[in-house]
A and B are shown apart, each in its own frame.
Chain A
């Protein structure tokens, strides 16, 4: 059965951090609750060290329910790093807040849920992880208790609950026709199961995962939550859950879905096409920077899904998806860090003259936005290159062409923002601190990750996915 708890050390460290944080918060006066932030950061760093130490292992633990492989290793490292960066962005927003402790504990729990999502190799665990990765975020979305936050939280919750139930239906149907929930047994059984039933089950199961990654048609919450909640929360919900959700979805496509039973590739291809196209079209004339970024994250998910479409037939797919996911998380957080560093600036017009007033911040913004476009040598370019090549290789050249057309379209709205920032005019440029420092660091890191992508891709291609 292979049940050594040490295999789950990073997850256990996060859970311990969350529990200890909650207890510590009970006894600390409000002025000293920042200690919980230190504890949370410490838990993330410790888990990160454990995750890196365990990165080479490939095994299935706990009765075939949890796959420790390159997918989980990437998920762990990316989620933990992203969580650390979000903690950096959050400092100014929640310092000395009445519920500061709760904020950090919820962030840690959501990160934990996301990691389990990435490693889940069993339908039941997948659903449990879905809940753990979702419920803390409903609370975080409405954390400020203001009107927009409450609305965001409610929408997020309702959609999440509805699609979660659908996901549960999917789990039930797949269990019914596959006679197992662990992927290792499920996969061969599904290959022999009736195609129609498998299709129904998979579609329902995808509903929950699409909600997590904010892909069409589970994307309706993204713009509202991104605009309604505070910037650090928006950064977290548009970045971290996607990492786990995408790896979980890819794991299903690569390891579980039978090649013959029904054409799930066409389904995923349509979903990918819809995500990138609708996300881009909606972002076109957005004046609010947060809504713009929200729609941009929807389109980015569409590009990553390209790799899932050809998961079982292109050799490049796995490492490209994992690399793209990490590169996207980093770059998206960079853009949100700039937004967090300028709390007064809510519309594109507020960014006018940024290059003159805050040249470094403007450079960071330009690097991150061009990174999201996929301009070399930023990291996302190499991710895009990989998924495009995988799509063409897997026989989905039309999808790659559509992705290219969408990339050009996306350039339009990113450039509107860049043009404002480098142009003249009075803007609102007050703010900075930790968020600005995080933005500089991330902008540099996206370039480094791009130039060093050879090393990262080598590491990713040395491992395989298992079930």
Chain B
């Protein structure tokens, strides 16, 4: 079943790429249809989920037995929400792109391929398989930015590729370290988690965690490894940005909870403070730099650094076992996973809206616009809703996530958590200021002649925000899935 979910988009990409007689509108509709079917399959898995916290839908096939790698897939309460998020965001991007795209065949194939890669990463239970999808996601996103980006795309794409590739190779070294430590040698995540191969080997464990942590920190990204993010986002096309922020960034944080925490619990506990500090610095630095941005898109990009910082803070706090309550740590992990989903939905929506803005005005500069509320009420309304959701207003998913993160982290790491709360104030300030500049006042500059959102654009953004509201008001359907898995994870870290 998971194989079908992962490879359906890939097969569709090959089929669509090899049928030259299809016209562009047909291609775009076929793309939407494939994404919808894939999302339906994921929804089916979610409904059938028993909420036991263990792995479900496992598939394992021998692949490279001589190096202990197998084709091993499975989902649990941590990966399933991210799989669902991936399928949802790709569908939103497909709908968003219904309006117009250049070189449609290549674009559609590339996005479908990227979708397969992203889904595969979240269900992979083998380090080599994980690394394969991790690397291919970089390759796919490189071509999205280089092929369909704005003016300075080539440099941005190169920076993105080089930076994240450094991260991925650090990751590979860490994986090799885990492989060699295990007895018998294996790349299987489940087996490695069971073995806990580096227990009692301080330096080795520390170095392995360093390599793995570096790889995921670049991808997340945390300060100081975030410098590739703003140019990549600024130059990427809207749908590419939405996927980059919504899905690809989650690969970093997901890697922490899937690989680093359960396989290296001892090292994780020892160096939890580093994670907490990095998280808090990311929160504050991301928010402060976002405050200084003129470009709407760079602003959203930096709030991503801020939002991912909360996740890092929470997983760091979850590693602070001594003198903390197990319930608090569970809450922190649940909050972290909720934040990944929430950030994906909200930031995905914000980047699609930023794309609509660029489409009409040809620039992301906030000062070029003004009074859009009068010209384009739908755009203004949705942007306002997305901004409020992003700053963590109660009633939206961001609030549920951040509330749990703060409550869970306060016990283990009170000072850091207190500092991170300042980040909320900063984000609130910067979003309100940006909304004021963009939407309020008399229409001026590029706002003259600004057309409101088209049908496909609205249809792509609204469901994302509706889901955010649904999680904000009725979080049980999501938390009920995450909580059993975070309970298992917290126990694994504490052993």
Binding site for B on A (CB under 8 A): 316, 319, 355, 359, 370, 375-377, 381-382, 385-386, 388-389, 392-393, 400-401, 404, 407-408, 411-412, 415, 419, 422-423, 453-454, 457-458, 460-461
Contacts and interface: CB of A to CB of B under 8 A. Distances in A.
B176 A412 contact: no
The binding surface of chain B is classed by DSSP as helix
Given A376-B128, A454-B62, A386 B154 contact: no
A385 B128 contact: yes
Contacts of A355: 106
B204 to A, nearest CB: 10
Contact of A408 (B67, B142, B147, B166): B166
Contact of A392 (B69, B128, B176): B176
11 contacts: A376-B135, A382-B67, A388-B172, A392-B173, A392-B180, A393-B180, A400-B173, A408-B166, A454-B63, A457-B66, A457-B67
Nearest to A416: B158
A388 B128 CA distance: 14
A458 B172 contact: no
A388 B173 contact: yes
B208 to A, nearest CB: 10
A182 B67 CA distance: 34
Given A319-B66, A389-B180, A454-B65, 11 more contacts: A316-B67, A376-B131, A376-B135, A377-B136, A400-B176, A407-B169, A408-B166, A412-B162, A415-B142, A453-B64, A458-B65
The CB with the most chain A CB atoms within 10 A, among B161, B170, B172, is that of: B172
B179 interface: yes
Contacts of A404: 169-170, 172-173
A460 B106 CA distance: 39
A457 B169 contact: no
Nearest to B207: A397
Nearest to A457: B66
Nearest to A460: B66
A461 B69 CA distance: 15
Contacts of B154: 419, 423
B63 A375 contact: no
Interface string B78-120: 0000000000000000000000000000100000000000000
B157 interface: yes
B67 A385 contact: yes
Q: Which 6 A-B pairs have the closest CB atoms?
A: A454-B64, A376-B132, A457-B66, A404-B169, A389-B176, A461-B66
Is the contact region of chain A dominated by helix, strand, or loop, or is it mixed? helix
Contacts of B63: 454
Contact of A419 (B65, B128, B157): B157
B288 to A, nearest CB: 30
A389 B136 CA distance: 21
Nearest to A455: B64
A375 B154 CA distance: 20
Contacts of B177: 392
A408 B162 contact: yes
A460 B64 CA distance: 12
B403 interface: no
A83 B165 CA distance: 34
B67 A386 contact: yes
Given A393-B180, A408-B166, A415-B158, A382 B146 contact: no
A460 B169 CA distance: 26
Nearest to A400: B173
A400 B146 CA distance: 31
B406 to A, nearest CB: 37
Contacts of A412: 158, 162
A375 B136 contact: yes
B13 to A, nearest CB: 13
B358 interface: no
Nearest to B64: A454
Given A457-B66, A461-B66, A411 B157 contact: no
B108 to A, nearest CB: 14
A351 to B, nearest CB: 14
B146 A411 contact: no
Nearest to A454: B64
B450 interface: no
Interface string B408-437: 000000000000000000000000000000
A393 B178 CA distance: 11
Interface in B146-184: 146-147, 154, 157-158, 161-162, 165-166, 169-170, 172-173, 176-177, 179-180
A377 B132 contact: yes
B133 to A, nearest CB: 9
B139 interface: yes
A221 B323 CA distance: 66
Contacts of A400: 173, 176
A173 B353 CA distance: 75
Contacts of B136: 375-377
A404 B139 CA distance: 18
A381 B133 CA distance: 13
A92 B283 CA distance: 61
Nearest to A377: B132
Contacts of B225: none
